[in-house]
Amino acid sequence: MRKKIVAGNWKMNTNFQEGIELAKSVADKYTDTKDGQEVVVFPPYLHLSAVVEELKGSKVTIGAQNCHTELKGAYTGEISAGMLQSIGMQYCLVGHSERRAYFFEDDHELTQKLKQLLNSSIQPIFCCGESLEDRKEGSYLEVIEQQLELLWAFSETEFSQMVIAYEPVWAIGTGETATAEQAQEIHAFIRTLIREKMGAALAENTSILYGGSCKPSNANELFGKDDVDGGLIGGAALNADDFLAIVKALN
Ligand code: PEP
């Protein structure tokens, strides 16, 4: 049975004290835990160690928003997968559309990051999603297929560690959400690709999350779809009550 996951990407928000408060609030309020369900927060790097401490004894897990392509060396200002492993990171985002757009991350770089994370026993959440232009042109399925292409070079064992997040760029931070039907179409498409490339068992077991203006008012409908296994949440993850209301929508 694949895991249901709600992941909160805090991006570059919250100062240190606010971040600790938010983590504490999520941990304290997440009491209605269920088997097969995981709640993960992705604070900024600066907060990670302290949030690890804050979450101890709770059912909330933690991930990082990014890592470098190399394990160590002269890369001023960077953080490696090995460093993240050493403070207990369980997940890391890879290929978020903001990193693709603002930091020009390409397939080669994303592949390197995935390798580093897998070598460090950290589960990648690999993000994909089309732009508004792609959607209007009707080329969105091809775009998604192309973005996922690099994953098929990994072994089945490696792939089994990955989570996929479908995040249409036009829905991220815009308040405009994909309809549940639009999300289901893409999620089913992604699962079919996994089935073709990696086999039926991995297709069945891979969690595919939806991201893009997911909030308490639309989470139920989105998560009600067969191939939507939870969400990657941006804005609404900055408020513990909203975030946990989204968690409640997991079925
Ligand atoms: C995101 O950036 O991953 C995201 C889904 O953001 P938001 O929920 O704010 O659209």
pLDDT, tens digit, for every residue of 166-182?
A: 999 999 988 888 999 99
The residue extents of the domains of the chain are 67-240
| Mean pLDDT along residues 100-111 | 98
96 flagged as catalytic: yes
pLDDT band at 68 (very low <50, low <70, confident <90, very high): very high
CA–centroid distance, residue 235 to ligand 1 (Å): 6
CB 173 near ligand 1, within 6 Å: yes
How much is the pLDDT for 173?
84
Tokens (6 digits) for 88: 């207990």
167 flagged as catalytic: yes
CA–centroid distance, residue 4 to ligand 1 (Å): 18
Residue type, 215: K
Q: Please tell me the residue having the least CA distance from ligand 1 atom 1.
A: 234
Residue 251 has pLDDT above 80, yes or no: no
* Class of domain 67-240 as given by CATH: alpha beta
- The tens digit of pLDDT for each residue in 177-228 reads 899 999 999 999 999 999 999 999 999 999 999 999 999 999 999 999 999 9
Q: Which atom of ligand 1 is nearest to the CA of 98?
A: 2
How much is the pLDDT for 176?
84
Residue 157 in 3-state DSSP?
A: helix
- The tens digit of pLDDT for each residue in 30-57 reads 998 889 999 999 999 999 999 999 999 9
Catalytic residue among 47, 130, 167, 187: 167
Catalytic residue among 47, 96, 98, 105: 96
